[in-house]
Structure 1
């Protein structure tokens, strides 16, 4: 008997009636032994009913590896795909079943039933029992997939969550159905399109190791042609894949964790290329884009989505005033008992550089570790909005680079908010000064129906060489005079002109991603108080009472 379980001379009729065909690896593979196995396999399958022919795969000594690791690598090593069924482990081996596997099994035979995983230096050694007599439940995979897809549709019927689809509990209990296999992805998308109650506006494909999406979103799949949100984090997508879906009117796109992101050394080049393909894009990788197509906040770490509109509005408003000739407007952002302190120091090796002069900041630095006279600690702690404003007005004229900002909302409570922000700025009237780095910690307290700054701690130093190269790569338009938006009640405001109202509508639309018609409605409901409008928006956003058309532009 041959090493693969049957003599080649056995007739097809007798093979069907006698025993399964067993395939093993050769100690020393030869062309002859490989051809003999393939010929025997073909004869065996020709004499069998393919609809009832089961293949049993045994991966020897493999229980140190996860189910997904084993199955993905086996599937990745053959061009013709199959669906692994009923995976289990037994005595150190991993075992599963499959049907319609002639081409894949022949491919494994050509690899001597050994699959190499170079990255992990792993050898997966296979034994295959063709025509196994084991009892395998023969469920309809298409029905299981259809049920899994229907479970992933949101109650609103407009959002479809296919993230980590292969881990769907009821589907995974029977088979391994990864969307990284194009035919599987295509089948799932067509299934969702068929069962859709209303066109989808949001699709989540995250964490599926998808490489190809060409052809999945054809025009005949009408229920996917109105997608506004596509989440595709942690896949294996290339730029060519993205170019295949540029017909989708996306407003929100998530791509981080894909190889295409590694093609770019500079974030701005990545943003430019993606927005070139999707001109209507408002949010990329969770970060809002400004009207100039750049990140409003480059990195946003807040876990509470409802905090983001407030953060964006606060930073935009605060630094537009700080960089303008109207710093006196900052008076209304601080309380009468607010405190402010500044610390500053040189980076190692920079103290002797001509353009690294920090005298304007060092003289006011409240760095207790470096103060020779500790009695100054109280003098350098500024108290009250008027004292703080006088100090801030003495600062050199500044220009901040919003694309350099990183921000986090550490606490977002009804009574108080804690914000941390870092970034770069320069002194436009000082041609010899280097670009500065800053860190700012704000504590805001809810007072008289608005949030006011209770504590403000600032740190300033010179930026690193790497930061200097990336700073101010995007040319920003000259900021208009900031609106006088004090954090006080509406009744004390000077009546707004039509031009100011238009600017406020544009601003709230940019911050919330609502269209301008709904932005205007929101402002009108609170008598054009921008901060109250944002609170109003957050409340209804959390209650999911804002209709989807409010975000269509």
Structure 2
């Protein structure tokens, strides 16, 4: 109304939260409550108002403590009441809405709240917004204002709408300000000590479980007015650090109800809490299943994520389980529900370990090793000679051959120019006609192609041989290693990989299919081969049962435990350190007697460097 608007102009002239009504001089009063004892117009109501306030004040405070409706009652006499109207001065207006905080925290400021006792003030606020839960965190008084933090959006909105609607015992109304709040938490010595105390009180050593649910509401924090939310990155990192130092064998961790929206800051748990099997992160603010990718390396068996909005995005239970198991394949309990056992090939079963890798592999070492050794010795003896014509006997009449030359990024084409013209790299040759032309069919075309390639010298110490298939009717053989071109003094060392498909013919064998890949050797490959040669530089001087200049070694390698024992024994007998002892055994194909014999001959010749005996 007009009178109401006029009256509002004179509100709070002295104090921001003063609810005493000041009457303008020019107002026309319809009902007079004059204090006839004093007629000065500037003091005409003061005596009478103070008497009424004194009479009503006790009732007002008592009502504030009894019910929400009575707490909103204004014990002071307003102008409308003097007119005879019995409506409440603080009648509610339009409801105010509060946008949800991105950080999920809200800062509440009570203007001039420092004038009142903390318990009294918080009790008034709590009673007013009942039944909405209300837990103040980090209560502080600064510049006569009281401030604290709350986590519940509903409570924050209720407090916002309680602004200037709660009257305290001195007749003033409470001015309440609420805003979104992104707290800055500095972890000093005091807070770090409290955090350690909190975590210690929540750890169960018998089950190796740590309960950090509602971490910020722990009584140890509240009693010290410390605000320490786990959804702040530095707090989470500090907690993980304490776990790593104090309880590295932690098996179960509960992080539910901590306003967590991002898990990226928890990546370090993969290394620092590697034994974790049970993780509860339910009732948080995780919106996307992809957040779990940050924890993908944990071998979790039980996971709780319900209560996060991400769970609502799945249309079926199976889809939900599948998405979780893509990240944690060993999970057998999800959201407190037992799951069917995971499919074994989805999981790296600890009981099903892969066999150790071997430098060379023989699928049938007993029968195949001698056959493969003879074949490769004869083949490369001819291939590295001045004439490759004799290789025509090694190929079937209808054999097929293809060559592929590949350059790594940054490598110049001139280093492999002799091979690029015949290269049949299917990624670089889209033309079917061109592909067919580069496929060499028939032994004559194959040998002509091999003769056109540069003369070579292969290094047999670099060979790695895999006998993939060995049957009476078919052999599949893969060999790779390093070679150099004879006619180029400064030519770069090259790497080759050769796949042979071989069939028995008469008393011998012939190739029916071959694929040759050539590329520049990497510095690591060249360095590795050079180290192997340092140990047995004159192995050719030791009788090896073959006069071939290209002796191909096809070891039947012992297992890792046997190798370790052989290295240790050779080191004790020879006096060489373990590194050089292993090199010697590697060069002699893990033949202990031959390795020891080679050592004795080289030592006698003074060919072993002093570094071999430094331990």
Scaled by the length of structure 2, the TM-score of the pair is: 0.30
Bigger Cα Rg: 2
